[in-house]
């Protein structure tokens, strides 16, 4: 079994804590590697390296930092297949999804390549007599990111791409379930020209996370994971004086109006619900048809689409989705399916018991479909994070808008309709952070920003785009004047009083 080590100060560092986690091959169910879990001393070593590196990295002008980003982008693109295969082997997502994982991260790196423009401040000439006022953006110092298993390439690049480009150094604590790709990305960042220590990777569990949250030299923490842990990270991090953005869970709804293109909507809904085995915070696990006719039609069309789905090995190019990440996660999904049955929902398609010949120990689970789901049910209120789609029927658009608006999560929502006025009203009124109009997974492009509402996000600033630049920098404002000749007898007066 191979060992996955930390990456500190530009080198592989074996763990000294004596604690390890297993990394599985989800296709076979077998452990393929073990990953070292960091103790506080190892986190401290990474931070010390990052501190040294940041002092010189921050002095590099933005254009030269952008050139490192350009080279990093080139290196990642040249190794896209290698990274996708490595990612797929530990996560279980099919190769097409794995390539998309890397590419969506690269989209943010592309944004970071334009950091000289994004870093520009503001300037006012003549704010008072001979007085100019201007602002500048400066890096925070050492910052950190804690990332989830479901996007082991994209989400780390969402974080460290912008953070490093603006002049910070970065401590990455990736998921212990699929940690190899983040280490490979750190190696490529070093190869691209970033100094040793600008990007460090430490592995682990709560011990490593708490060491990051408690470390006085870490100025900001970005987190993506479950809402309970996001709330903990936000509360603990802000209590220790850190800037924190913590993205949590989701229960995204797809509202289906009677005038929608049902053929297209059914394909979109099935792809969004079951793609990547539902292990996406922007998956679409709930469809809300308005009216009985719409509900009956979308049910039949979704059933027909499910029959065409192929669940297979992550390396099978014909497979729509592969196994889930671990045996424990598979059991969690199956427990939710049984809970739905116990709550009285109609289990139209049962994905439990799915076996792939020759890979009976793999973490596979077939697509499941519920109808007659009620808002009072726990399976509706909570995030399942698996290939399970729920139909919640609504009698009116008002009722349909209320469902995602009143839900504890507010990450994403979609509406399927040909009615522009209804779509416009929906987008304006719904109490959710990201809205799709005939777009089932409304993840914004990299130069906009990503973030949900309610228990889907804790903190005031979103991921990537200009919000990311704001999160990883602090603004300094300078008021300047240059007196000429003899000393002015009049004391300085605030410009607004002139």
The residues carrying an active-site annotation are: 281
Question: Cα separation of 188 and 240, whole Å?
Answer: 32
Question: Cα separation of 442 and 388, whole Å?
Answer: 19
Nearest residue to 282 (alpha-carbon basis) of 450, 125, 423, 469: 450
The residues near 251 (Cβ < 8 Å, ≥ 6 apart) are 285, 286, 380, 381, 382, 383, 404, 407, 408, 409, 411
- Report the SS3 class of residue 152: coil
Q: How many CA atoms lie less than 13 Å away from 316 in the CB half-sphere?
A: 14
Q: How many CA atoms lie less than 13 Å away from 318 in the CB half-sphere?
A: 2
Provide φ and ψ at 145, rounded to 5°: -135, 140
Provide φ and ψ at 419, rounded to 5°: -95, 105
What are 286's strand-pairing partners? Answer: 253, 390
Containing 332, the helix (H) or strand (E) segment is helix 327-343
Evaluate whether 354 touches 364 at the Cβ level (below 8 Å). Answer: yes
Question: Cα separation of 231 and 120, whole Å?
Answer: 33
């Amino acid at each position: 079994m191979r060992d996955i080590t930390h990456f500190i100060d530009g080198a592989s560092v074996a763990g000294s804590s004596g604690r390890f986690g297993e990394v599985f091959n989800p296709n076979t169910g077998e452990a393929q590697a073990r990953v070292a879990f960091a103790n506080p001393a190892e986190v401290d070593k990474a931070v010390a390296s990052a501190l040294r590196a940041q002092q010189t990295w921050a002095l590099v002008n933005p254009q030269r930092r952008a050139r490192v980003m350009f080279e990093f982008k080139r290196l990642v693109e040249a190794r896209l297949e290698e990274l996708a295969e490595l990612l797929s082997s530990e996560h279980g997502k099919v190769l097409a999804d794995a390539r998309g994982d890397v590419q969506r991260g690269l989209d943010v790196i592309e944004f970071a390549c334009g950091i000289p423009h994004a870093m520009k401040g503001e300037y006012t000439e003549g704010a008072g007599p001979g007085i100019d006022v201007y602002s500048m953006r400066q890096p925070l110092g050492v910052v950190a990111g804690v990332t989830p298993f479901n996007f082991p390439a994209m989400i780390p690049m969402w974080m460290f791409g912008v953070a490093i480009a603006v002049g910070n150094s970065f401590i990455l604590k990736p998921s212990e379930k699929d940690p190899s790709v983040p280490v490979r990305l750190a190696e490529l960042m070093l190869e691209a020209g970033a100094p040793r220590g600008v990007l460090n990777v430490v592995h682990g569990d709560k011990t490593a996370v708490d060491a990051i949250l408690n470390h006085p030299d870490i100025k900001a923490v970005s987190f993506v994971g479950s809402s309970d842990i996001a709330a903990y990270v936000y509360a603990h991090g802000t209590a220790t004086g850190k800037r924190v953005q913590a993205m949590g869970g989701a229960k995204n709804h797809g509202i289906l109006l009677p005038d929608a293109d049902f053929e297209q909507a059914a394909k979109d809904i099935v792809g969004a619900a079951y793609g990547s085995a539902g292990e996406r915070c922007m998956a679409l696990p709930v469809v809300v048809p308005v009216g009985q006719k719409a509900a009956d039609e979308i049910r039949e069309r979704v059933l027909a689409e499910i029959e065409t789905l192929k669940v297979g090995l992550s390396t099978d190019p014909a497979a729509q989705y592969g196994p889930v990440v671990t045996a424990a996660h598979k059991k969690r999904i199956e427990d939710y399916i049984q809970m739905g049955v116990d709550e009285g929902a109609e289990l139209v398609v049962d994905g439990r018991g799915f076996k792939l010949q020759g890979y009976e120990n793999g973490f596979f689970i077939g697509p499941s479909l519920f109808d007659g789901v009620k808002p009072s049910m726990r399976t509706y209120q909570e995030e399942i994070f698996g290939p399970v789609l729920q139909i919640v029927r609504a009698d009116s658009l008002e009722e349909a808008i209320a469902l995602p608006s009143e839900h504890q999560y507010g990450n994403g929502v979609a509406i399927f309709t040909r009615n522009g006025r209804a779509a416009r009203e929906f987008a304006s009124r719904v109490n959710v952070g990201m809205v799709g109009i005939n777009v089932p997974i409304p993840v914004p492009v990299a130069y906009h920003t990503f973030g949900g509402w309610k228990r889907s996000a804790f903190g005031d600033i979103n991921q990537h785009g200009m919000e990311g630049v704001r999160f990883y920098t602090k603004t300094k404002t300078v008021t300047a004047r240059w007196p000429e000749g003899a000393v002015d007898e009049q004391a300085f007066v605030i410009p607004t009083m002139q």
